[in-house]
Amino acid sequence: MNCLEFRRCVGAEPSASGAGIEGHRAKCPACARHQDELRAMDAVIGRALAIDAARIRKGDTTALPTGSATRRPRWLALAASIMIGVTVGFALWIASPRPSLAREVIGHVAHEPDAMSGTAPIAQATLAGVLDPEGTRLRPGLGDVTFAMRCVFEGHVVPHLVVRTARGPVTVLLLRHRSVSGRVELAEQGYAGVVLPAPRGSIAIVGQLKDLDGIAQQVFEAVDWGN
């Protein structure tokens, strides 16, 4: 099992275990930590739902019209669990030592090398599933999108795309949570890239190309940030 397979697997089921999972955990601390974070979020969400279920059993539904006794608490629990999930993710992120933004971005890209190797365009629906929750879109014309996943980055879920531009594949991370005051250049481990201030947070563009600036500008302009 490689890093990408591992992250797909635990992303769908944080409590996943088994020989493949444990084997990868043993040799890849970054993936092990990734799963630990997902498990922690999952546990807190589970507790929030359990508390709510206990309230329903006690008959604490006085304010609810007949028939909606289960529907509304479930909705509330879901809203609460999302809030708690975000808070836990953020807490885990600030509790761990913070490497520089450059190192975080390159580390993330270097850790999912298989993401760069695909050549077949992914389905529109897959791309929409990754970008829609952010209220963003990618305008056509930039190149085929060959990879799209919602990844955990600095305790936040962020869209991670790979676009095959005319000059080669580039990785794009939409970092809505992370503001930068100006452009940040990245160059590490054979990767070159740039983080640019965006209408919402920032955008990281990374590739293994020389002179990435022109492509970075094209990528930046291809993102429709919504309102």
Token pair, residue 82, equals 């999302």
Indicate whether 170 belongs to the interface with Zn ion (CB under 5 A).
no
Indicate whether 21 belongs to the interface with Zn ion (CB under 5 A).
no
φ/ψ of residue 77, rounded to 5: -60, -40
Residues in binding contact with Zn ion, number by CB under 5 A: 6
Q: Assess contact for 163 and 169: CB atoms under 8 A.
A: yes
**What is the per-residue DSSP string for 2-68?**
-HHHHHHHHHH-TT--SHHHHHHHHH-HHHHHHHHHHHHHHHHHHHHHHHHHHHHHTT--TTSPTT-
Taking residues 1 to 20 in sequence order and writing x for each that binds Zn ion by CB under 5 A, - otherwise, the string is --x-----------------
Indicate whether 122 belongs to the interface with Zn ion (CB under 5 A).
no
Considering the complex, state which of residue 37 and residue 112 has its C-beta at the smaller distance from Zn ion.
Answer: 112
Shortest reach from residue 30's CB to Zn ion, in Å = 6
Tell me which stretch binds Zn ion (CB under 5 A): 55-63, 146-154, 199-207, 214-222.
146-154
Site for Zn ion in 58-97 (CB under 5 A): none
Indicate whether 31 belongs to the interface with Zn ion (CB under 5 A).
yes
**Count of CB atoms situated within 10 Å of the CB of 185:** 11
DSSP letter (8 states) at residue 82: H
Residue type, 117: S
**Count of CB atoms situated within 10 Å of the CB of 140:** 7
Q: Determine whether 72 is exposed, middle or buried from the number of CB atoms within 10 Å of its CB (0-12, 13-18, 19+).
A: middle
Indicate whether 160 belongs to the interface with Zn ion (CB under 5 A).
yes
Considering the complex, state which of residue 52 and residue 153 has its C-beta at the smaller distance from Zn ion.
Answer: 153
Shortest reach from residue 181's CB to Zn ion, in Å = 25
Shortest reach from residue 176's CB to Zn ion, in Å = 15
Shortest reach from residue 61's CB to Zn ion, in Å = 42
Beta strand 137-138 with 223-224: parallel, antiparallel or unpaired?
antiparallel
Tell me which stretch binds Zn ion (CB under 5 A): 48-56, 74-82, 145-153, 181-189.
145-153
Contact with Zn ion (CB under 5 A): which of 48, 77, 151, 157? 151
Residues lying near Zn ion in the complex (CB under 5 A): 3, 28, 31, 112, 151, 160
